[in-house]
Amino acid sequence: MPKDHGIGASSKRREDVRFLTGKGRYTDDINIRGQAYVHFLRSDVAHGKINGLDTSAAESAPGVLRVFTGADFEGVGGLPCGWQVTDREGNPMQEPAHPVLAQGKVRHVGDPIAAVVAETYEQARDAAEQITVDIEELPAVMDMKAALKPDAPKVHEDLTSNLCYDWGFVEENREATNAAFEKAHHVTTLELVNQRLVANPMEPRVAIGDYAAHSDESTLYTTSQNPHVIRLLMGAFVLGIPEHKLRVVAPDVGGGFGSKIFHYAEEAFCTFAAKALKRPVKWVSSRSEAFLSDAQGRDHVTRIELALDAEGHFQALRTETYANMGAYLSTFSTSVPTWLHGTLMAGNYRTPLIYVNVKAVFTNTVPVDAYRGAGRPEATFQLERVIDKAAREMGIDPVELRRRNFVTEFPYATPVAVEYDTGDYNATLDRALEMADWDGFEARAAESAKKGLWRGRGINSYIEACGIAPSQLVGQLGARAGLYESATVRVNATGGLVVMTGSHSHGQGHETAFPQVIADMIGIDESQVEIVHGDTANTPMGMGTYGSRSIAVGGSAMVRAAEKVIAKAKKIAAHLMEAAPEDVELKDGQFSVAGTDKSIAWGDVTLAAYVPHNYPLDEIEPGLEETAFYDPSNFTYPAGAYVCEVEVDPETGKVRVDRFAAADDFGNVVNPMIVEGQVHGGLAQGIGQALLEGCTYDETGQLLSASYMDYAMPRADDLPSFQVDHSCQTPCTHNPLGVKGCGEAGAIGSPPALVNAVVDALQRGGKDVTHIDMPLSPARVWAAMQ
């Protein structure tokens, strides 16, 4: 029987009611009396020197309050990078300045040059057309390998080259890995591109700066996944505002997928300008502007080699990856191709020797940073593609080759510095094959053939490191932040609770799922628990939501805080029942004393905490409110297996996804309905990457895929209904809920399954195609067949 409440129940989402009736409160729905509007004049060339900037006509245009340029930001900090990577020799990465507004040079199309603040948005935009910019265009640095040639133009003159870092991992394993390749029975090599993507949450970014002169307090309303992180980065590194004079509010946020983690220039600008003008300043990105200013994702070019013995056992793996940073280092950009990527190269397999080399490169493109999965999709794609290719080359069934190499004993320490606590990769693979009716493939292929279509199937087995992250570990690896999470549980006198969490919900359903956990712990109705998030003024310092961390880290913090509350409540209950605290039990909202018939209700105890007339004041304080900061001791390791079946139209190259089965092990699951929804969304983004999406620049640095007219977003008729399953559960061993996180799995696991399926279809159709780079658009598939 499915549960109808508490952990494991598919409770309907309470937040839905406001979203379904038009009562959501997104940042653009906020309008502050007296607000002005900013329009950013952005560079239309990819690389150029600003020789002159004349804003005088714009300054006197109707409605204009002020025109800001880079000169106004001299002495103001730049946008910081949150993770320092060291190179193979132990030297720190090259870290260029990232000004709020361009200082003498523009480095990508969309780089902001000036900002016009006016009474209305249209006035600001009208005035911006009157700014004269004298730009001396420089050659654009676009191709990563060309960018590293000694004579390449430099994106940043003050750096020695366009190389951010040359990272080796694990450097000590390099020689041994190379030696293993020398001895290998078989080596499979694959060169591939993990193409640049645009996150495209449906809500474009918005920022509103506000300044209260009476208290000298600045407030930023912003579309962020992590308001506390923005407050810290912007306050401490950019604008020099102490946290107690800066409030950051991220209200309802319309999706993020990583792109709303980062601290952006527009946030700092609006906060700065509001104080300068003593007026609220609002910026609303258009979708077109988002394509030029939201950090983009992926963009890796990789050569991967897998060494196998005669039986197909993996002997060694080595990769060389070029990772595009874009023109500046976005907040977590440097960690994505390194620690979020290299550490996952073992996959689900026992590969004794692994060496990963990553060269991070500056180019004249929009900065690249984390996008759903962040590094882990890139790792999984390489690995699962090269394994499929190896299986074909060696004549081993691709399912069998994977099984032969699966890690089956836990804990398992990989050669790339992480320890998997638990898992069962055969179980999810079995389940995925069963759901997809793997054995019934041939009959379906025959049906497809009657229609003139080629059917193919592909599998993928993935692992990811989530629950980001153990602070001390990531600190050693270069993180400039702690990655704990926080929660305050405030019990009110009449027994209801408010949980103030540092996690942020922008679609994940925390307002529903978090109360399920607390309600279970205490034995009260979920409706008695309210979740507060998204405002630095009323939540403890928290690190926000990304990396599938909310339930694993934020949920654990909430559990810890609730445990403290319950421990104190038991003391109060013990006093009221004249029993020893250790004898007091809490179940179904009732405290009782073991072995007696004494009991007292939760509400009576909470009332006593705030009306302490009969209360052990000499032992404990009144009130019932506790805060916990939870720092995980390890990552969590969700894993699973995906099966994709496609039909390819050999005349046009068009691929249709016929069925997609996903079996995931997320450990324990709090709300199955929400978890399945997360998987559906991840699958759509992964299938989108594999089939449709691609961010393309021309050689001069102009973005060709600059709107939904050219950037192919997955639509309802591009996708099938999905089969998803999370019944294979190996609970996480090191967090209190045994949860692993589910947000990114679909996006990580689906691209290789789909590409494997298309390659399979083409081979069955008699085409000698071993790889096609994503997206597998009809044009590319057709070209591969020619």
Partner 1 sequence: MYDFELVKPKSVDEAVSALAAEDAQPLGGGQTLIPTMKQRLAAPAVLVSTHDIDGMKGVSTDGGVMTVGGATTHGTVAKEAASAFPGLAGLAAKIGDPAVRNRGTIGGSLANNDPAACYPAALLAAGGTVVTNAREIAADDFFEGMFTTALEEGELITVVKFNIPEKSNYQKFEQPASRFPLVGVFVAKHSDEVRVGVTGASEDGVFRWTEAEQALSSNFSAEAISGLTVSADGMIGDLHGTPDYRAHLVKVMTGRAVSAAE
Partner 2 sequence: MSKISMTVNGKPASGEAEGRTLLVEFLRGELGLTGTHVGCDTSQCGACVVHVNGEAVKACTMFAGEADGAEVTTIEGMANPDGSLNAIQQAFQDHHGLQCGFCTPGMVMSAAALLKDNPKPSEAEVRDYLEGNICRCTGYHNIVKAIMAASGQDVTAIAAE
Stretch that binds partner 1, among 487-495, 540-548, 557-565, 692-700 (CB under 8 A): 692-700
Q: Which of 138, 500, 669, 674 binds partner 2 (CB under 8 A)?
A: 674
Q: How far is the CB of 294 from partner 2 (least distance, A)?
A: 13
Q: Side-chain half-sphere of 441: how many Cα atoms within 13 Å?
A: 22
Strand spans (E) along 594-697: 599-601, 625-630, 639-648, 655-665
Q: Which is nearer to partner 2, 118 or 479 (CB)?
A: 118
- Other beta carbons within 10 Å of 84: 16
User: Minimal CA–CA distance to 412: which of 321, 475, 348, 365?
Assistant: 348
User: Minimal CA–CA distance to 193: which of 785, 780, 782, 786?
Assistant: 780
Q: Which is nearer to partner 2, 255 or 603 (CB)?
A: 255
Determine the 3-state secondary structure of 429 from DSSP: helix
Q: Does residue 782 touch partner 1 according to CB under 8 A? A: yes
Contacts (CB under 8 A) with partner 2, residues 475-534: 506-509
Q: Does residue 168 touch partner 1 according to CB under 8 A? A: no
DSSP character at residue 465: -
Contacts (CB under 8 A) with partner 1, residues 198-217: none
Q: Does residue 453 touch partner 1 according to CB under 8 A? A: no
Q: Which is nearer to partner 1, 413 or 783 (CB)?
A: 783
Stretch that binds partner 2, among 158-166, 207-215, 225-233, 716-724 (CB under 8 A): 716-724
CB-based contacts of 192, cutoff 8 Å, min separation 6: 301, 302, 304, 381, 382, 385, 771, 773
CB-based contacts of 129, cutoff 8 Å, min separation 6: none
Determine the 3-state secondary structure of 22 from DSSP: coil
Q: With CB cut-offs between 5 and 8 Å by kind, which of partner 1, partner 2, none does residue 16 bind?
A: partner 2
Q: How far is the CB of 710 from partner 1 (least distance, A)?
A: 5
Whether the Cβ atoms of residue 163 and residue 300 lie closer than 8 Å to each other: no
The DSSP string of 326-361 is ESS--TTGGGTTTTTTGGGTTTTB--SEEEEEEEEE
Q: Does residue 254 touch partner 2 according to CB under 8 A? A: yes
Q: How far is the CB of 43 from partner 1 (least distance, A)?
A: 17
Q: How far apart are CA 543 and CA 556, in angstroms?
A: 14
Q: How far is the CB of 727 from partner 2 (least distance, A)?
A: 8
* Contact flags string 18-57 toward partner 1, x per CB under 8 A: ----------------------------------------
Q: Does residue 414 touch partner 1 according to CB under 8 A? A: no
Sign of CA dihedral 771, 775, 779, 782: positive
Q: Does residue 443 touch partner 1 according to CB under 8 A? A: no
Q: Which is nearer to partner 1, 227 or 688 (CB)?
A: 688
Q: Does residue 203 touch partner 2 according to CB under 8 A? A: yes
Q: Does residue 682 touch partner 2 according to CB under 8 A? A: yes
Q: How far is CA 479 from CA 335, 469, 532, in A?
A: 8, 10, 28
| Residue pointed to by tokens 């918005």 | 206
Q: With CB cut-offs between 5 and 8 Å by kind, which of partner 2, partner 1, none does residue 331 bind?
A: none
Stretch that binds partner 1, among 93-101, 551-559, 581-589, 712-720 (CB under 8 A): 712-720
Q: How far is the CB of 777 from partner 1 (least distance, A)?
A: 6
- 353 forms beta bridges with 316
Q: Does residue 710 touch partner 1 according to CB under 8 A? A: yes
Q: Which is nearer to partner 2, 569 or 683 (CB)?
A: 683
Q: Which of 520, 626, 676, 760 binds partner 2 (CB under 8 A)?
A: 676
Q: How far is the CB of 678 from partner 2 (least distance, A)?
A: 8
Contacts (CB under 8 A) with partner 2, residues 720-739: 720-725
Q: Does residue 680 touch partner 2 according to CB under 8 A? A: yes
> What distance separates the 2 farthest-apart alpha carbons in the chain?
86
Q: Does residue 749 touch partner 2 according to CB under 8 A? A: no
Q: Does residue 129 touch partner 2 according to CB under 8 A? A: no
Q: How far apart are CA 184 and CA 312, in angstroms?
A: 10
User: Minimal CA–CA distance to 251: which of 206, 282, 311?
Assistant: 206
Q: With CB cut-offs between 5 and 8 Å by kind, which of partner 1, partner 2, none does residue 630 bind?
A: none
Whether the Cβ atoms of residue 295 and residue 330 lie closer than 8 Å to each other: yes
Stretch that binds partner 2, among 194-202, 394-402, 410-418, 759-767 (CB under 8 A): 194-202
Q: How far apart are CA 4 and CA 275, in angstroms?
A: 50
The CA-to-CA distance between both ends of the chain, in Å, stands at 54
Q: Which of 130, 177, 200, 364 binds partner 2 (CB under 8 A)?
A: 200
- 85 forms beta bridges with none
Tokens matching residue 684: 């759509």
Q: How far apart are CA 473 and CA 232, in angstroms?
A: 21
CA angle, 516 then 548 then 696, to 5°: 140
Contacts (CB under 8 A) with partner 2, residues 554-613: none
Q: Does residue 204 touch partner 2 according to CB under 8 A? A: yes
Q: Does residue 438 touch partner 2 according to CB under 8 A? A: no
Q: How far apart are CA 709 and CA 491, in angstroms?
A: 51
- Helices 745-764, 672-691: crossing angle, 10 deg rounding: 50
Q: Residue numbers of the site for partner 2 (CB under 8 A)?
A: 12-13, 15-26, 28-29, 122, 200-204, 252-255, 257, 286-288, 506-509, 673-674, 676-677, 680-685, 707-709, 713-717, 719-725, 746
Q: Which residues here bind partner 1, judged by CB under 8 A?
A: 122, 125-126, 286, 288, 651-652, 654, 692, 694, 696, 704-705, 708-713, 715, 777-779, 782-783
